[in-house]
């Protein structure tokens, strides 16, 4: 249990966290530059999907609010 506590103390140290984040900064920037376009595509897709669902809801409400017409020839 002593080794676990020393590792936890090592990674909870503020200076260690800062150095670790500085070490990961180039990787993070490179990864962001690689997926930047895909993030925008996903955002655009989400907005378009929301607008499509909203349009479908609007059309469904218009259809449901129309009065029902009964054809008397069938009866």
The CA distance from 7 to 15, in Å, is 14
The CA distance from 61 to 55, in Å, is 10
pLDDT digits (tens, 9 = 90+) for 10-54: 777 788 888 888 988 999 999 999 999 999 999 999 999 999 999
Of the candidates 67, 56, 6, 62, the one whose C-alpha atom is nearest the C-alpha of residue 48 is 56
Question: What is the model's pTM?
Answer: 0.56
Helix (H) or strand (E) run with residue 14 in it: helix 14-65
Asked if residue 75 has pLDDT above 60, the reply is no
The CA distance from 31 to 14, in Å, is 25
């Amino acid at each position: 249990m002593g080794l676990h506590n020393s590792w936890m103390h090592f990674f909870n140290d503020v200076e260690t966290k800062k150095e670790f984040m500085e070490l990961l900064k180039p990787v993070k920037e490179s990864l962001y530059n690689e997926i930047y376009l895909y993030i925008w595509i996903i955002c655009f897709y989400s907005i378009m999907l929301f607008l499509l669902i909203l349009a479908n809801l609007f059309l469904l409400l218009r259809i449901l609010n129309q009065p029902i017409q009964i054809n008397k020839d069938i009866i």
